[in-house]
Amino acid sequence: MSQSYPLLPSAARTTTTSSSARGSGGNSRAHFLVNVTAGDAGFSVVPSVEAYDDGTAAWYPVLPGNAITTTGMNVLKVGVGFVPIAGAVASDVLPSSFRVTMTPADAKSITYSVGVKVYP
């Protein structure tokens, strides 16, 4: 059975924003949903699914996403057995602690929300 959680509420943003850390709850796969609803002309934002390493106390990328340049729903997937697609799908375990970081190309306003749907 899947469960959905918000990571970043819908808001206009112009700077790099990271969600709070979220635990996998023992789940092994996830869909990360980036819903862009508005943006200044020529906007661009790059999502990255990141994992936390307790040994180094640092975040590292599990799935650096492709730049998002249009409004609409964008899905990034992480899970063992998924067919890898650069910038969109990682065939990897869902980290026990993860977050999403959104990095804009410049100071243009972009309105988006980020959620996650986890699967056993």
pLDDT digits (tens, 9 = 90+) for 35-88: 999 999 999 999 999 999 999 999 999 999 999 999 999 999 999 999 999 999
Nearest to 22 by CA among 93, 96, 106, 86: 96
Query: Tokens representing 2?
Result: 């899947």
Res 34: pLDDT: 98
Domains and CATH numbers, the chain: 3-119 (2.60.120.380)
Res 95: pLDDT: 97
Structure-derived torsion over alpha carbons of residues 97, 115, 66, 71, reported in degrees to the nearest 10: -170
pLDDT band at 4 (very low <50, low <70, confident <90, very high): very high
Q: Is the pTM of this model over 0.85?
A: yes
101 DSSP β-pair partners:
18, 48
